[in-house]
Structure formats: structure tokens, C-alpha cells
A and B are shown apart, each in its own frame.
Chain A
Amino acid sequence: MTATIKNLTSITHNGLTLPKVIPQLTFADKLGGCKARWAIARMKYTVEPGIYAVGNPTDQSPVLVSANYKLSFDFLRKELTGIDAWIMVIDTNGINVWCAAGKGTFGTAEIVRRIESVELNKIVSHRKIILPQLGGVGVAAHKVKKQSGFMVIYGPVRARDIKAFIDAGNKATPDMRQVHFTLYDRLVLTPVEFTISAKYALFIIAAMFLLSGINKQGYSTQLTLENGFRAVFNVMTAYLGGTVIAPLFLPWLPGTSFSVKGFYVGLLLAAALSLTGYTGTQLETLAWILLVTAITSFTAMNFTGASTYTSLSGVNKEMKRAIPFQLTAAVAGLVIWIITRFI
């Protein structure tokens, strides 16, 4: 299923009828993008692969290559106001450029195939295509040249620099070549981070809520209702700490590994929870310190996947060190917490 592009018209160029898009995004485009950020119907958010005209392109106009994830496509076209260009959308199964390149779907073979299927040699007289720089993770420029005759020019990392790049004669400044990981970049990633593991968090929350009713006399529903909300609140705080707070404050948190950064967030949150009386007795507080730090450390560690600068070797090393601690803390915390039910 593909998302529809509003205001799609067509042009005739060198005897071919080709679709034409406008650079302006509609409300529906923005809403769709927003939903994708929250992981709602995200994998169906695709555009039809092929060639699209923007403005009034000619034989000489640049060819910009995009993934068929609609958010990638929209990010590119909204930067093309006043530019006459061709957008060649390749089939990446609706995945963004960087991730698709990592898998190889934004890759040499698909580009060569697409150049042939859209008959790019009939559309433009030059033999150059501009790729987003991050496409380089899946594309070998010299092989594309060899197999298709088209020369790959790596454009800027970010679509917003494409105009400046073209204006400068296809030259990128050092900053255009650098991946950033700004507060805003991290902010837009947190909703997905939060929602994707939410089912696991809900399971833990439900389990802790029900376990709150255990006591010496057996099981008390009243106790569940009285105490359960504290358990729910504490787990939710920890989950929010690892999926939202740690990512946002990432550069300012101590340590280089994400699990350590998450651990500090957990300590801080556990302290706040105990000061506000959410953790209960001293022994219960100890249990919550262990549980909260285990959750924040683990969920913050998962943010390595969304970050732009972690290597697989680094993540492997971090996990080998961190997981034994996280598991021990989680198990010890849970055991102590269950013991406190009976005291």
C-alpha cells in the first residue's frame, strides 16, 4: 500500500509521460509524517518508485535519488522550491535512506536497475546522479558507474542543504558531510523509542501492579489498589527516563556508554521517587533503586540503535559489560521487592 501524493500532475518530456510533484507539503503530508514518527502505520508510508519531475526540469536538470519512504521523499521535495530537478525514487521497501543503505536495499543493484527501468538515459542528456551522502553505506559509486554509465555524486547528508549544494556546483561544505545528533534530532526520535518497546513496559507494569497485592495473608485486591499505583508510577518513570530523558540529555550525561548514562538518569529518578515517598520503606527503596536503574540503563542502551555515532564493535563491548549488571540489578530488585510484600 502506498501513500497518495497530493497535487500529482504529469508532464511530457522527450516523448515520455512523467509524474510531476510540487515542493509544497500539504497538511495531509505533515500529518502522515507526524504519525510515522509515532510509529503509526509507519511501514506503509511509501511512495511509488520511479521518476518524478519537480519544477520544469530539462535534459540538463540534476537527478536526485531518494528512498521510497515517504518521509524521506517529502524531506527532499520540500527543499526544492524554485529548483528544476528530477527525483528518482528507488525501491527501499519504504525504509529511509540510511537504514535501507545499511541493509543494502538502497544499494548499487537497485540504483542500476532503476536507472534502466525509468529510462534515465532518455530523460537527461548528462550522466550524473546525486545521492544523499548516507546512501554511500549501501552504494559503491564506482560500480554504479561501471554498470550503468552514470556517475554517482554524493550530495549533502541532509536534504535541507541540497539547494546550497547544487548552487555551489555540486560542492559540499565539511559541515554538510557531517552527521549531526542535535537535541532536535534526538527529540524527534524519542516517540518511536517510547512506543516501540511500550508493549514490554506495559507487561512489566501490569505484572508489578498485580504483584502489589501479595501479602502475608495471601492476596489482597484492596492492597493492589492501594499500592499498585506506586509500582506503576515507578516503572513508568523509569521507562520514560531511559527512552526519553536519557536520549534528550545524552551529551551532558556522564560516561561514554549509553547504559552508564541511563544508569545515572535512573539514580536521579530513584532519588526523586524516594524523596516524594513513592518508594516506600527503606528496603523497598533499595528494591526500587535497583529496578529503576536496571530499566533506565537497559532502555537507554537501546537508544544506541537510534543514535548516529555508535559502532557495532562498541555496542558489543558495551553490552558484554552492562547486561550482567542490568540483569543482576533487575533480579535482585524484584526479589527484594517481593520480599517486602511479606514484611
Chain B
Amino acid sequence: MKGQEYLKNVVTLELNIDKCIGCGMCAVVCPQRVFRIEDYKAVITNKDLCMECGACALNCPIDAIKVQAGVGCAAAVINSFFTGGEPTCDCSDGSSGCC
């Protein structure tokens, strides 16, 4: 099954190919299968598939990946608008949660 795509050309994902050591961790952790390893280097196959979860950047041992990680959740964005914080999954009153 192919991954589902959301809006085009908005994702903040960046891979520094010169730094990349081809360890393949990004390809392992990415739940959208954005990465492939070719000739000992990571390759972004389709950037629009990225959901900015941040797993690749966090697990890259040499910090070759940059992405503004966050939750793709409208309720969280609205909440953060009113509270002034970062959008997080703590979207409700504590008796429930959105995910």
C-alpha cells in the first residue's frame, strides 16, 4: 500500500547529503517511507509524503536531517493559538485526548 499524500510543497524536511553516512536509520524509522538508501546515501523519494513526525532527524546519528517536527492536528493548532504554546497532542481538558 502506497502512503497517502497531503498538501504539496509545504514540508520542511531537509537532508544534507554530504553529511549522510548511509546508516539507514531514517529509512527504518520513517512511517511514511520517505527515504531509500542508494549507493550508501539516503535519498528522499517523495518529500510530499512526509508528515513531519521528526523520527528521522532524531535518529540520525550525525544530524544530517532537519525537519520542523510537530503534530499535524488542526485542534492542536487552534489550541496553541489561544494558549500561545506549541501545538501538541494535549488538545483537551485532561479527561480525554485527540489521539
Question: Which among B1, B28, B50, B72 is the interface contact of A315 at CB below 8 angstroms?
Answer: B72
Would you give the shortest CB distance from A141 to chain B, in whole angstroms?
Answer: 5
Q: Mark B67-90, 1 if CB is under 8 A from A, else 0.
A: 011111111111000000001111
Residue pair B75, A302 in contact (C-beta under 8 Å): yes
Residue pair A103, B51 in contact (C-beta under 8 Å): no
CA of A252 to CA of B56 in the docked complex: distance in angstroms? 30
Would you give the shortest CB distance from A253 to chain B, in whole angstroms?
Answer: 12
Would you give the shortest CB distance from A320 to chain B, in whole angstroms?
Answer: 10
Residue B49 is within 8 A (CB to CB) of chain A in the complex: yes
CA of A318 to CA of B11 in the docked complex: distance in angstroms? 13
CA of A101 to CA of B88 in the docked complex: distance in angstroms? 11
Residue pair A309, B98 in contact (C-beta under 8 Å): no
Q: How many residues of B contact A (CB 8 A)?
A: 50
Residue pair A99, B5 in contact (C-beta under 8 Å): no
Knowing A103-B88, A318-B7, say if A140 contacts B58 (CB, 8 Å). Answer: yes
Knowing A180-B1, A314-B72, say if A309 contacts B29 (CB, 8 Å). Answer: no
Residue pair B33, A196 in contact (C-beta under 8 Å): no
Knowing A134-B31, A141-B59, A180-B1, say if A312 contacts B98 (CB, 8 Å). Answer: no
CA of A175 to CA of B92 in the docked complex: distance in angstroms? 33
CA of A181 to CA of B70 in the docked complex: distance in angstroms? 19
Question: Which among B8, B49, B89 is the interface contact of A309 at CB below 8 angstroms?
Answer: B49
Tell which of B69, B72, B75, B90 has the most Cβ of chain A within 10 Å. Answer: B72
Residue A147 is within 8 A (CB to CB) of chain B in the complex: no
Would you give the shortest CB distance from B72 to chain A, in whole angstroms?
Answer: 3
Question: Which among A172, A256, A312 is the interface contact of B71 at CB below 8 angstroms?
Answer: A312
Q: Mark A161-175, 1 if CB is under 8 A from B, else 0.
A: 000000000001011
Tell which of A101, A174, A181, A304 has the most Cβ of chain B within 10 Å. Answer: A304
Q: Which of B47-68 contact A (CB under 8 A)?
A: 49-55, 58-59, 61, 68
Would you give the shortest CB distance from B35 to chain A, in whole angstroms?
Answer: 10
Residues of B within 8 A of A301 (CB): 74
Residues of A within 8 A of B92 (CB): 196
Question: Which among B6, B78, B87, B94 is the interface contact of A314 at CB below 8 angstroms?
Answer: B6
Residue pair A138, B58 in contact (C-beta under 8 Å): yes
Knowing A137-B54, A157-B31, say if A319 contacts B96 (CB, 8 Å). Answer: no
Residue pair B11, A313 in contact (C-beta under 8 Å): yes
Residues of A within 8 A of B70 (CB): 311-313
Residue pair A102, B6 in contact (C-beta under 8 Å): no
Residue pair B99, A98 in contact (C-beta under 8 Å): yes
Residue pair A102, B3 in contact (C-beta under 8 Å): no
Residues of A within 8 A of B20 (CB): none
Residue A142 is within 8 A (CB to CB) of chain B in the complex: yes
Tell which of B25, B31, B68, B69 has the most Cβ of chain A within 10 Å. Answer: B31
Residue numbers of B with Cβ under 8 A of A are 1, 3-8, 10-12, 25, 28-33, 49-55, 58-59, 61, 68-78, 87-92, 94-99
- 27 A-B pairs with CB atoms under 8 Å apart are A43-B94, A43-B96, A95-B97, A99-B99, A102-B53, A133-B28, A133-B31, A136-B55, A140-B59, A157-B31, A192-B96, A192-B98, A196-B92, A256-B6, A257-B7, A302-B73, A305-B71, A305-B75, A305-B76, A306-B73, A308-B4, A309-B4, A309-B5, A310-B6, A310-B72, A311-B72, A319-B77
